[in-house]
Chains A and B, each alone.
Chain A
Amino acid sequence: MHDITVALYLITVLLFIAGLKLLTSPRTARMGNLVSAVGMTIAIVATFLGYWSELSNWTYILIGGILGSVVGAFLAYWVDMRDIPQFVAILNSFGGAVSALVGAWAIFNMDKVKPAFASTGLFVGSVVADAFIGTIAFVGSVIAFAKLQKLITERPVVLPMKNLLNVIALILVFVFGYLLIQNPHNYLYLYAIFALAAFLGFNVTMAVGGADMPVVISLLISYAGLSAAALGFTFMNYGLIMVGSLVGASGLILTRIMAKAMNRDFWGILLGNITPPEMATTSSDAAFYEGKVKSTSPDEVAMMLKYADRIVIIPGYGLAVAQAQRELKELYDLLTKDGKEVYFAIHDVAGRMPGHMNVLLAEVEVPYEALKTMDEGNQLLEGADVALVVGANDVVNPLAKEDPSTPIYGMPILEADKARSVVVIKRSLSPGFAGIPNPLFIRDNTVMLFDDAKKALRAIIDAYKEL
C-alpha cells in the first residue's frame, strides 16, 4: 500500500462519516448520499493508484467496470420505487458474493497476493472470515429478495432444531477454518466453509417473515460491510478495513434503531429467532371471513363521512400501489371545507417502506399538521367518528395485540377499531405481508368497500358532492 493510497482512503472514511451524518436529516439526506458517492469514487481511484503496477489485464477491468456500470444504472432507473426493499436485497447479495469470490481468489493465489508481513494464519483466517460472512450476506440477501418478490413463501420457515443446527454449523466453520489455516492448499475445507455459511444464511433468513424483511436487509448490509473489513485484513488494505468496519458498525446500529421502531427484538433478528415456530392461525382465509364481512357502497361511505365530525384516514401500501394520493387529497379538501377534523394517521412502517407515505402525501400538498404519527393517531382515533383505512392491512390488524401466535404479535398498530365506525377500502380480502387474516374486517363496526383505492375514492368524492 502506498502512503498516498492510505491517505486517500482516509478521505473516503471522512466523507462516509459526513455522509452518514447528513443522511440522518431529511433536509440534507440527498447531499449525504452524494458526499458518500464522492468518497466511493476516491476509494476506487486510490485502489488504482495503489495496485497500478500489478494491474495487467485491462480488458477484464474495462469489461467488468463498464458493463457493471451500465447494468447498475439501468436497473436503478428501471426499478419501481415500490420494489426498493427487494432491489436493495438483490444488490446486497452481489456485495456478499464479491467478498466471497475475491476471498476465494486470494487463497487460490496466495503466493502472489499474501502481504509479506502477514502470517499464513492471519491471511487464511481473514479469508475464512470474509468468505463466511460474505456468503451469509449473499445467501441471506437472495432469500430476502425471493421472499419480498413472493418467489417463495413469506411466512417464516423454521427447521426443527434450527438453533442447534446453527450452532453445529458455526462450530464446523471454526473447525474447517482451523484446518484450512494448517493446510491452505486443501481447498475442500474452503468449499465446506462456503457450504456451511450458505446453510446458515439460508436457515436464519428463512425463519423470518416477510414483514420483518426490511430489518433483516439492514442487518445483511451490515454483514456485507463487515465482510469488506475482513477482506481488508486479507490484503492488509487499511482503507477497506476502515470503511468496512465503519459501515458494518453503523449498519448494526441502524438495524437496532429500525427493529426498535417496529418493536422487534434486535437480538432475535440477529439470530433469526423472532418468529414463533408454531403458527396457530393457519385457518384458510375464506373460512375466516365467511359470511361475516359487511360490504358497502361509495354512497353509503359518503353518507357516513357527511355525518362525521372527526375522520382519521389510515393510508397503507394499497394507496401507493393505486397511486391514489391525489384523490385522497381531494377528499381531504372536501371534508375540511365542511369544517370536519381530518387527520392522516401514518404508521411507522406504512407501505412497508418507512417514510414513503409521508413523501407521497407531502407531494400532493397535504398540510404537514394533518400528518400524524402512530401515537398521535391512536389518540385521535379514540374519539373519531370514522376511521378510513385505505389499502392498509397488517398495520391495523388487532391480532398484533391479541394473539401471541401471529408473526406480527407485539408490533405497534393503529387501533382503527377504536373509532365509532371503520371503513376499509381494499381490493380484496387477500392477506397483507404478514400472511394472516385480519379480524378488523369482521368487526361489527367495520364495513368494507372492495375496490381499487383510486376508483373507490373517486366514487366516494362524487357521491359526497351530490349529497
Chain B
Amino acid sequence: MPVIASSGAGLDPILTAVVLFVLALIIGFEVITKVPPMLHTPLVVASHAMASIMVVEAIRAAGHGSILGLIALFIGTVNVVGGYLIADRMLAMFKKDKKKEK
C-alpha cells in the first residue's frame, strides 16, 4: 500500500496535492458566474488556451529524448500558441467594437 514519504517536517506531499486539487476545483467552479451570451465563444476559446497547460510535461518528456515527447511537445506547442493567438484575434474584434461605440 502507499509508501508515504514525508518531506521532512512538512505536510505529506500527496495530501498537499489533493488539497491543491480540491481548492483549485472550488475556485474554478466559482470564478465564472454570469457571462453574457455574446462572450460565450471568446471565453470558450480563451479557456481552451489555458487548458493546454499539459504541454509543460511534454517539455520534460522531449528533454528526456523521447520521440513520444517530441511529438507531444510539437502538437502541444501548436495548441498553446494557436489557442492564445486565435483568442486574441477574436477578442480584438470586441475591442474595436467598444472603441466605435464611444
- Interface residues in chain A, defined as those with a beta carbon under 8 Å from any beta carbon in chain B: 13, 16-17, 19-21, 23-27, 29-30, 32-34, 36-37, 39-40, 43-44, 46-48, 51, 54-58, 60-61, 63-65, 67-69, 71-73, 75-77, 79, 81, 84-85, 87-88, 91-92, 94-95, 97-99, 101-102, 104-106, 108-109, 112-113, 115-119, 121-122, 134, 214, 217-218, 221-222, 224-225, 227-229, 231-254, 257-258, 261, 348-349, 353-356, 358-359, 362-363, 365, 368
A64-B83 contact in complex given A54-B63, A101-B68, A356-B41, C-beta closer than 8 Å: no
Q: Which of B75-102 contact A (CB under 8 A)?
A: 75-98, 100-101
Q: Which residue of B lies closest to A137 (CB)?
A: B51
Min CB–CB distance B19 → chain A (angstroms): 10
A363 touches B93 (CB 8 A): yes
4 nearest interchain CB pairs?
A68-B77, A249-B28, A72-B81, A355-B38
Q: How far apart sit A241 and B70, CA to CA, in the bound complex (Å)?
A: 22
The residue that B24 contacts in the complex, of A84, A87, A243, with Cβ under 8 A, is A243
A118-B14 contact in complex given A84-B41, A243-B24, C-beta closer than 8 Å: yes
A250 touches B47 (CB 8 A): yes
A362 touches B17 (CB 8 A): no
Q: How far apart sit A227 and B61, CA to CA, in the bound complex (Å)?
A: 16
The main secondary structure of chain A at its interface with chain B is helix
A245-B54 contact in complex given A40-B84, A221-B44, A358-B97, C-beta closer than 8 Å: no
A94 touches B76 (CB 8 A): yes
Residues in B with CB closer than 8 Å to A368 are: 101
- 7 more A-B contacts (CB under 8 A) besides A24-B34, A101-B61, A214-B40? A56-B63, A81-B90, A109-B66, A242-B24, A245-B28, A257-B35, A257-B40
Q: How far apart sit A64 and B62, CA to CA, in the bound complex (Å)?
A: 8
A233 touches B74 (CB 8 A): no
A91-B79 contact in complex given A65-B73, A84-B41, C-beta closer than 8 Å: yes
Q: Which residue of A lies closest to B3 (CB)?
A: A119
B89 touches A69 (CB 8 A): no
The residue that A84 contacts in the complex, of B53, B86, B94, with Cβ under 8 A, is B86
The residue that B78 contacts in the complex, of A75, A218, A234, A238, with Cβ under 8 A, is A75
Q: Which of B3-59 contact A (CB under 8 A)?
A: 3-5, 7, 13-14, 16-17, 20-29, 31-59
Q: How far apart sit A44 and B52, CA to CA, in the bound complex (Å)?
A: 11
Min CB–CB distance B101 → chain A (angstroms): 6
Q: Which residue of A lies closest to B59 (CB)?
A: A47
Q: How far apart sit A109 and B2, CA to CA, in the bound complex (Å)?
A: 20
Residues in A with CB closer than 8 Å to B4 are: 117, 119
B98 touches A27 (CB 8 A): yes
A253-B29 contact in complex given A68-B74, A71-B78, A94-B76, C-beta closer than 8 Å: yes
B53 touches A247 (CB 8 A): yes
B97 touches A72 (CB 8 A): no
Residues in B with CB closer than 8 Å to A55 are: 59-60, 63-64
Residues in B with CB closer than 8 Å to A227 are: 54
Q: Which residue of B lies closest to A249 (CB)?
A: B28
Residues in A with CB closer than 8 Å to B60 are: 47, 51, 54-55, 235
A95 touches B44 (CB 8 A): no
Contacts A/B (CB < 8 Å), 7 sampled:
A19-B50, A33-B46, A57-B64, A64-B70, A87-B82, A231-B57, A241-B17
Min CB–CB distance A9 → chain B (angstroms): 9
Q: How far apart sit A116 and B97, CA to CA, in the bound complex (Å)?
A: 54
Residues in A with CB closer than 8 Å to B55 are: 44, 98
The residue that B70 contacts in the complex, of A60, A76, A353, with Cβ under 8 A, is A60
Best-buried of B45, B50, B65 by chain A (most CB within 10 Å): B50
